[in-house]
Amino acid sequence: DVKVTQSSRYLVKRTGEKVFLECVQDMDHENMFWYRQDPGLGLRLIYFSYDVKMKEKGDIPEGYSVSREKKERFSLILESASTNQTSMYLCASSPQVRGLGGYTFGSGTRLTVV
């Protein structure tokens, strides 16, 4: 079974901490994505990457950065965590640009910033 693995299911961090959310896929996909999911707002794109060391901002990149040093790993970084970044974070990967083949999702990380 193909998989996207997010390292933590639940995470609690303090305001001002630097937070790393890790995502690893074993499908040799070129494209990887980070979304945040909030009730009533659906999924909003934070960043995506279509190749190693390549990254593009999504719709809500403020307060976040990403790293993709290897094809299989895409990390989301909260430079200085704030309470308004409390959310569900979903990682996804896709073999085709624009997600045309559909996404494979990780199981999500629920982050609480206190």
Partner 1 sequence: AQTVTQSQPEMSVQEAETVTLSCTYDTSESDYYLFWYKQPPSRQMILVIRQEAYKQQNATENRFSVNFQKAAKSFSLKISDSQLGDAAMYFCAYPSGYALNFGKGTSLLVTP
* Binding site residues, partner 1, CB under 8 A: 31, 33, 35, 40-43, 45, 48, 50, 56, 58, 88, 90, 92, 97-100, 102-103, 105, 107-108
Least separation in angstroms between residue 50's CB and partner 1 is 6
Least separation in angstroms between residue 44's CB and partner 1 is 8
Contacts 24+ apart (CB under 8 A), 79-83: 79/18, 80/16, 80/17, 80/18, 81/13, 81/14, 81/15, 81/16, 81/17, 81/18, 81/19, 81/113, 82/15, 82/113, 83/15, 83/113, 83/114
| Closer CB to partner 1, 14 or 98, in the complex | 98
| Closer CB to partner 1, 14 or 40, in the complex | 40
User: Residue 76: which of 52, 47, 98 has the closest Cα?
Assistant: 47
Farthest CA pair distance, the chain: 38
| Closer CB to partner 1, 81 or 90, in the complex | 90
| Closer CB to partner 1, 43 or 77, in the complex | 43
Least separation in angstroms between residue 96's CB and partner 1 is 9
